[in-house]
Chain A
């Protein structure tokens, strides 16, 4: 068996650190903190081993040994099992350092110098993502160590219990040190020559990524919807992410229809209009939770990160630069049958989330958790607006005039509840329509043949071999 090359090892490392971010609801701060010092040292050694390091690379390699205030030591020691992905990434970097130390010589051509720069960039990128994941895990860990806020009793036992392995102070201190290192790595990456832009068709889309990210986002959304109490910002974030999911689904199903993977007529007549309706419906639900409205809890970083991961994973499939990728390009990047099945399942699960959105306004208002400017509530109540007079149960004119922030009362949430129920009906209709649109298995071979032909003629290889069964279930998403 051939030994892996530096490029292959760096690819493995990149895959390992990115896979930590696939399911950020499962981030284990203490485990990441336990693996971090070795990973950082191995990254530093790999960076220093690339021939002719420039000053910036030397500086960054030096910083991997520990913060300036306490060189050669990263935070307090954490008594936890090291995260397996960060450990594997570190082992790949150690192998890179070993290979380079034994075989690499100073670059003698511009091409070799470019390769060396590229290797340094890839190591720095792995370092940045590793630091980002560890810092995020530690911030999340510190949040969980805080006491739960008093509020509504939600069925999430244990979520906010302390986790063994690192104290709150340890989590915070190491997270701050990692924040600094991230800033330094970002500074290094923005200051070094970038790699040549890749042609769109050569863009590699990891077939495992979307299932993991979707599963991670769904778990994060459930955590938000059942938090005690949820943050208004997180609720709006979930609704807007649902909109994005629908939009990307439209783009991907359109590509599937053009490739003949799904019935094009059925897509145009039955699916596309329902996707558009559901998109508007989620927009209306998001508008029920404007930024002026507040609950006692701030937004959770885990929700923000899950949304970022979801957007990024879908962007990798549907975007080209700052615009949309063509259907042909999308067909080259992913197995359309698999991804269509996966998105169909995810949209089906959206119905349960919409139901929860219908329950939340009244629940939060009854618990006295929801506050809003009186002026906003008056604007959101069309009846009161039309009448122009104070009515029982409505917003008090004096509160509006004095720009007061008031508690939202249960009777003032009927609009938000009705909006979410309308959305639930739209999603039911969409799910039923999607069930009547079976993926054409016979057409898959056609698409595969087209992809193979494109690969042969354009030098572009399909991102991954197609699987026999296009009906990807949720079970596949749980794999990590």
Chain B
């Protein structure tokens, strides 16, 4: 059986995008919880953190290997909103035809997380 190197490369690229998106959301969730503990009106930050958590967990549910590269390359994005949007960009850059089954479910939760962090500043 022959292995198509282009196919393998695109699979790797898809895995990389999913792992990176997971890491961005993990960082976003941590940041939102930290901000909630430090700022007044922490309740809304808890809800934002929970929304990011759901997006991250949905991603891991459809692609259990997503957390594998955790901590290799820390995100440069500084705010929750930037992190969530960067995660969305990562998912959008998965090569066509290599999207994992159920990706739209993760995107659904990502959109809700984006709505929650809109207009809030955390860093």
Chain A residues packing against B (C-beta within 8 Å): 132, 135-136, 139, 172, 175-176, 179-180, 182-183, 186, 233-234, 236-237, 240-241, 243-244, 247, 251, 291-292, 294, 298-301, 303-304, 307-308, 311, 315, 322-324
Contact = CB atoms under 8 A, between A and B. Distances in A.
Given A139-B105, A175-B101, A243 B57 contact: no
Contacts of A292: 70
B5 interface: no
B53 A237 contact: yes
Contacts, number: 92
A300 B67 CA distance: 15
A311 B104 contact: no
The 8 closest A-B CB pairs, nearest first, are A298-B64, A299-B57, A179-B104, A182-B104, A301-B61, A247-B43, A299-B61, A304-B58
A303 B49 CA distance: 16
B26 A291 contact: yes
Interface string B50-80: 1101100110111010010010000000000
A179 B43 contact: no
A179 B46 contact: no
Which of A136, A176, A180, A234 has the most chain B CB within a 10 Å cutoff? A176
A404 B109 CA distance: 33
Given A247-B43, A322-B116, A176 B54 contact: no
B101 A244 contact: no
A244 B50 contact: yes
Contacts of B103: 179
Contacts of B43: 247, 251, 324
A298 B54 contact: no
Contacts of B57: 233-234, 237, 299, 303-304
A186 B107 CA distance: 10
B102 A237 contact: no
A468 B86 CA distance: 51
Interface string B7-49: 0000000000000000000100000000000000001101101
Chain B interface, >50% SS class:
helix
Nearest to A286: B33
Contacts of B115: 322
A305 B42 CA distance: 24
Given A236-B53, A292-B70, A244 B44 contact: no
Nearest to A299: B57
Which of B43, B64, B109 has the most chain A CB within a 10 Å cutoff? B43
B102 A301 contact: yes
B80 to A, nearest CB: 13
A175 B102 contact: yes
A207 B59 CA distance: 32
A250 B108 CA distance: 28
21 contacts: A132-B104, A136-B105, A175-B101, A179-B101, A179-B102, A179-B103, A182-B104, A240-B49, A241-B50, A244-B50, A291-B67, A294-B67, A298-B64, A300-B61, A301-B61, A303-B57, A304-B54, A308-B112, A311-B51, A311-B54, A322-B115
Contacts of B49: 240
Nearest to B116: A322
B61 A304 contact: yes
